[in-house]
Amino acid sequence: MVFGWLIRFVVVMLLVRLAWKFVSGFAQGATRRPVSGPARGMPLVQDPVCGTYVDQGRAVTARRKGTVHHFCSDDCRKAFLEGDVSSA
Ligand SMILES: [Zn+2]
């Protein structure tokens, strides 16, 4: 009975997939913590050049068209002001 074996195999595979989905979903819900964010009350701002999140107090700032932008380093600030990332 080759077909009986095949059907059993498929059913087992489906059950394993369902169980895996359930387990991974449960694990995701259980481990939902703040992702390494410093809980110091200092808001994080995103560097528009490299995408890094930096403390607003530590960030390098630049004013452009009336908006203050925050950067992780002077290099990113320079790159932004030189227009390397015009889409941002
Ligand atoms: Zn940066």
Residue located via tokens 């203050």: 68
Q: How many A from CA of 67 to the centre of ligand 1? A: 17
Task: Round the CA-based radius of gyration of the chain to a whole number and report it.
Answer: 24
The DSSP H or E segment spanning 64 is strand 60-64
- Whole-model pTM? 0.48
CA pair distance 65, 42, nearest whole angstrom: 25
Q: What is the mean pLDDT of residues 54-68?
A: 92
Q: How many A from CA of 77 to the centre of ligand 1? A: 8
pLDDT in tens, 5-23: 999 999 999 999 999 999 8
